[in-house]
Amino acid sequence: MFNSWIAVKSPNFLLTCSNVTLAIVLPPSGTNIVTQLYDALLKKQEKTSHIFEIRPINDRIFVPNKDGNMPELPEITSRAIEMNKELTGKTIQAFEVLQPKCLNVTPDELNQFLNHSVIDSVTHHGKWIMAHTTQGWLLINLGMGGEILLVNRKQMPAKYKLVIDFTDQTCLAINFWWFGYVHFCALDGLTNHPMIAKLGPNVLDLSEEVFTNLIKNQKGKVKAFLLDQSRVAGIGNAYVHDILFMAKLHPNRLIASLSATEISALFKGIQDGLRPSLTKGGAFYEMNLYGEKGGFQMEDIIIGYRENTPCPQCGAPIQKIKTGSTSSFICSTCQPES
């Protein structure tokens, strides 16, 4: 899965399939080409085990070195909790779709399937927000970033790609920075959804025993494992550096070389790396349902994106290193490769 930029001069987009990342350089008029490519990859994905991602290099996306950070488990979990609180019991009146490409059905079909349905609950799986209604699932993925805002129709935000109107005059305004999804799924169809069906379990839902049994049977490197959404879902580039630092593990460590103590430390690192942000409603570069920024600030990040600053534990300078097609922030003293 994608987790960081590669060093290419002035690319507009990055395309990733499995562990291969390609830089795409296009003029602004070339965006339609990327959209067409994205659609083709989604169709291909339905027939393969690969998960594709295309991401823009966009100044709106957080971090000093312009690493691309999608909403991750703390942000998506926070949105799902907020939506479950606010939307449960609401009746969908209509959908206004300004970006039909985000749908897996036509706008008319979406209205036909879900109009007059009542939202029973809202949960999430990985980076998908899942609203269970009386007539089917409404699935939302913010993709490369965006906002989901609960507003009144008379107080709409400046930008949105899709609006869900409710019978109580409130609405959900959804905006994607670039690509995102709003999918319909039949009540019994989640196991056949081409993207959700491939996801591993939510990483924070795992007990230490289950996590240990899961990881000890895996191959490859520890960072690649954490970022592979088909193995465990929810971790991305924003949090993985601190998780590995707290576990004292180099991102290139082979899973097969991990001791029981190190696996336990990794489990604890995942908890300590994600739960503080979840408690604060997610990262500061993402907006909640009410238009407020998340409370997890840049100063809450321990070593991620802090190249050349002293390690908070040993004082050695934090390094930015190449790990495959991605970059990682590490303390080489606290996280030896061997």
**What is the residue extent of each domain of the chain?**
13-56, 73-198, 203-330
Type of residue numbered 146: G
Quote the tokens at residue 123.
Answer: 């949960």
To 5 degrees, how large is the angle CA 295–CA 301–CA 306?
A: 135
Q: Is residue 317 within 8 Å of 309, Cβ to Cβ?
A: yes
pLDDT higher than 60, residue 28:
no
Q: Which residue has the higher pLDDT, 187 or 5?
A: 187
Q: pLDDT averaged over the chain?
A: 85
β-strand partners of 132: 121, 137
How far apart CA 39 and CA 310 sit, in angstroms, is 44
Name the CATH architecture for the domain at 203-330: Orthogonal Bundle (1.10)
Angle, nearest 10°, between helix axes 260-279 and 237-246? Answer: 130
Fold of 73-198: N-terminal domain of MutM-like DNA repair proteins (3.20.190)
134-150 average pLDDT score: 95
Tell me how long the chain is: 338
Question: What pLDDT, on a 0 to 100 scale, did the predictor assign at position 178?
Answer: 78
Model pLDDT for residues 293-306, shown as the tens digit of each residue: 999 999 999 999 99
Q: Which residue has the higher pLDDT, 58 or 69?
A: 69
Tokens 């630092």 locate to 245
Burial class (CB within 10 angstroms; exposed 0-12, middle 13-18, buried 19+) of 267: buried
Number of C-beta neighbours around residue 198 at 10 A: 17
Model pLDDT for residues 147-189, shown as the tens digit of each residue: 999 999 989 999 999 999 999 999 999 999 878 999 999 999 9
Which range (81-85, 235-239, 264-268) has the least confidence?
235-239
- How would you classify the pairing of strands 319-323 and 170-176? unpaired
Instruction: Work out the pLDDT band at 40, boundaries 50, 70, 90.
Output: low
- How would you classify the pairing of strands 13-17 and 20-24? antiparallel
